[in-house]
C-alpha cells in the first residue's frame, strides 16, 4: 500500500528503507514517471510512483551529498552517503546509470556494522576460528568472494577492523570508500585523475604497512597488482565477485595471474551468500559462509572441487536453519538447495 506521504529527501527514503526492512531501494525511470521499489526478503516490492521532477530532486540530492557531478548524466557514477535517520546512522552506496528514460538510481543500505564476533555475520564457530587463524598467522593473499548483495563489503570491513585492533597497520585502496573504519588508513582511488589502483597500491607499499586491503579485484590491473603486493607486505585482503570459490580461482587465471603465483601466494578464500530467515512472520538477514585454506593446486580439478565444496557447504548450512523451523529465502537459486519451502 502506498505511504501516506511521498519522501522528499534522501534521509526520508533511508527511513522508508528501515521501515520496510529493505536492503536496497531502486528508482526505475519510465517514460513519464519513476517507480520506486524496495528489496526485502530478497524480493522487489513496488512502494510508489513519483514524477520525473520529484525524482530528479532526489537524484540531485544524492549527487550533491555524494560529491558527484550534478550536471553529467551521460556516464555511470558511484558514491557513498552517510544518512542520519533519527538516532541511526546508515551507510549507503549509491549507483547511478543512464537508461533510455533517464538515470536509474540504486541505493544499497548497509545492514551490518562493525562487530566483535564474525559469528554475528553468519560464520560458524569453526569458520570464525579458521578465518582468524589465516589472517593473523598466515602470509599472502586472502579473497573475500560472493555475488552482488552477498555482504562481502561488510565482511571485508569487519576483518580490517579486527586486524587493526590486533595492532596491525592496515591501509586500503578503494573506489569508492564505502565505510570509514577507525585506525585504518583508507585511500580513495581516482582513475580518471591518474590515481588508478596500481599507482595507489605502489604508493601504499612505501608506508611500511602490515596489511594492504583492496576494495575489489575487478580487472587484470587490480588482480596482478594485488598478487605482486603480496611479495612486499605480510597480508593482502581483497574482495571479488564470484559464484563460488572455484569460480574465484578461475577468475584469477582469466585476469592474468600465473598459476604458480596463485599457488604460492593464495592464502585462503571465503565465499558467502546473503539469505533471509523467516520465523513467526519475523525476518532476519544473515550470510552463509564457506571458508577454504590454501595452498591450492591451481588446476581445473581444483576449480571443480572448490565449486562443489562451496555449494555443499551452503546447502548444509541452509538445511540446518530449516531443521530449526526457519523458512529460508535466498536471492540466488544456485545456492538455494532442493527444498521448495520459501526458497527463492
From CA 163, how far away is CA 166, in angstroms rounded? 5
Residue 119 vs residues 114, 287, 326: alpha-carbon distances, Å: 12, 10, 18
Q: What is the pLDDT of residue 196?
A: 84
> Tell me, what's the pLDDT at 337?
43
Rounded mean pLDDT, 91-118:
86
Question: By the 8 A CB rule, do 145 and 270 touch?
Answer: yes
Which DSSP helix (H) or strand (E) runs through 297? none
4 confidence band (pLDDT: 50, 70, 90): low
* pLDDT higher than 80, residue 3: no
Instruction: Determine whether 150 is exposed, middle or buried from the number of CB atoms within 10 Å of its CB (0-12, 13-18, 19+).
Output: buried
Q: What percent of the chain has pLDDT over 70?
A: 93
Preceding peptide of 295 cis, ω within 30°: yes
Quickly list H helices, 213-338. Answer: 220-229, 245-254, 259-265, 300-323
Is residue 334 predicted with pLDDT exceeding 60?
Answer: no
Distance CA 5, CA 7 (A): 6
**Residue that the C-alpha cell 596500481 belongs to:** 198
Say how many Å lie between the first and final Cα of the chain, rounded.
23
C-alpha neighbours within 13 Å on the C-beta side of residue 85? 21
Nearest in space to 290 (alpha carbons), one of 157, 116, 112, 126: 126
β-pairing, 102-109 vs 88-99, is antiparallel
pLDDT, residue 177, reads 85
Q: DSSP assignment, residue 232?
A: T
343 pLDDT tier (thresholds 50, 70, 90)? very low
Contact 136, 106 (CB under 8 A): no
Separation CA 335–CA 323 (nearest Å): 17
- Confidence at residue 331, expressed as pLDDT on a 0 to 100 scale: 66
Q: Residue ranges of the domains in the chain?
A: 10-109, 118-335
22-41, pLDDT tens digit by residue? 888 999 999 999 999 998 76
**What tens digit of pLDDT does each residue of 196-250 get?**
888 899 899 999 999 999 999 999 989 999 999 999 999 999 999 999 999 999 9
- pLDDT for the residue numbered 342: 45
Contact 170, 164 (CB under 8 A): yes
Is 147 in a helix, a strand, or coil? coil
What's residue 335's pLDDT?
A: 43
* CA-based nearest residue to 15, from 28, 29, 25: 25
pLDDT of residue 42: 67
What does the DSSP 8-state code read for residue 83?
E
**What's the chain's average pLDDT?**
89
**What's the rounded Cα separation, in Å, for the pair 196 and 203?**
11
Is the model's pLDDT at 69 over the cut of 80? yes
Q: What value does the mean pLDDT take over residues 183-208?
A: 88
Number of neighbouring beta carbons within 10 Å of residue 161: 20
Classify domain 10-109 by CATH architecture: 2-Layer Sandwich (3.30)
Q: Which fold has domain 118-335?
A: Rossmann fold (3.40.50)
Amino acid at each position: 500500500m502506498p505511504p501516506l506521504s511521498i519522501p522528499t529527501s534522501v534521509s526520508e527514503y533511508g527511513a522508508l528503507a528501515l521501515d520496510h526492512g529493505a536492503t536496497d531501494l531502486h528508482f526505475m525511470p519510465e517514460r513519464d514517471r519513476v517507480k520506486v521499489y524496495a528489496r526485502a526478503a530478497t524480493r522487489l516490492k513496488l512502494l510508489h510512483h513519483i514524477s520525473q521532477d520529484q525524482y530528479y530532486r532526489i537524484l540531485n540530492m544524492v549527487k550533491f551529498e555524494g560529491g558527484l557531478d550534478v550536471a553529467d548524466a551521460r556516464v555511470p557514477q558511484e558514491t557513498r552517503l552517510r544518512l542520519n535517520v533519527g538516532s541511526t546512522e546508515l551507510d549507503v552506496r549509491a549507483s547511478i546509470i543512464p537508461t533510455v528514460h533517464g538515470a536509474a538510481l540504486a541505493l544499497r543500505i548497509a545492514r551490518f556494522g562493525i562487530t566483535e564476533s564474525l559469528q554475528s555475520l553468519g560464520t560458524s564457530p569453526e569458520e570464525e576460528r579458521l578465518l582468524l587463524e589465516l589472517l593473523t598467522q598466515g602470509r599472502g593473499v586472502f579473497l573475500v568472494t560472493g555475488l552482488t548483495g552477498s555482504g562481502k563489503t561488510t565482511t571485508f570491513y569487519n576483518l580490517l577492523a579486527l586486524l587493526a585492533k590486533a595492532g596491525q597497520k592496515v591501509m586500503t585502496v578503494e573506489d569508492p570508500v564505502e565505510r570509514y573504519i577507525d585506525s585504518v588508513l583508507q585511500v580513495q582511488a581516482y582513475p580518471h585523475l591518474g590515481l588508478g589502483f596500481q599507482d595507489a597500491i605502489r604508493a601504499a607499499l612505501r608506508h611500511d604497512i602490515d596489511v594492504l586491503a583492496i576494495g575489489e579485484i575487478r580487472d587484470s590491473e587490480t588482480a596482478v597488482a594485488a598478487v605482486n603486493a603480496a611479495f612486499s607486505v605480510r597480508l593482502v585482503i581483497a574482495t571479488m565477485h564470484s559464484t563460488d570459490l572455484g569460480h574465484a580461482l578461475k577468475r584469477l587465471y582469466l585476469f592474468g595471474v600465473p598459476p604458480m603465483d596463485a599457488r604460492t601466494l593464495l592464502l585462503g578464500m571465503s565465499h558467502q551468500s546473503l539469505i533471509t530467515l523467516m520465523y513467526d512472520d519475523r525476518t532476519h538477514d544473515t550470510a552463509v559462509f564457506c571458508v577454504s585454506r590454501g595452498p591450492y593446486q591451481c588446476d581445473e580439478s581444483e576449480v571443480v572441487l572448490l565449486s562443489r565444496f562451496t555449494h555443499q557447504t551452503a546447502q548444509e548450512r541452509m538445511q540446518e536453519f530449516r531443521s530449526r523451523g526457519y523458512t529460508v529465502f535466498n536471492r540466488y537459486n544456485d545456492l538455494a538447495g532442493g527444498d521448495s519451502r520459501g526458497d527463492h
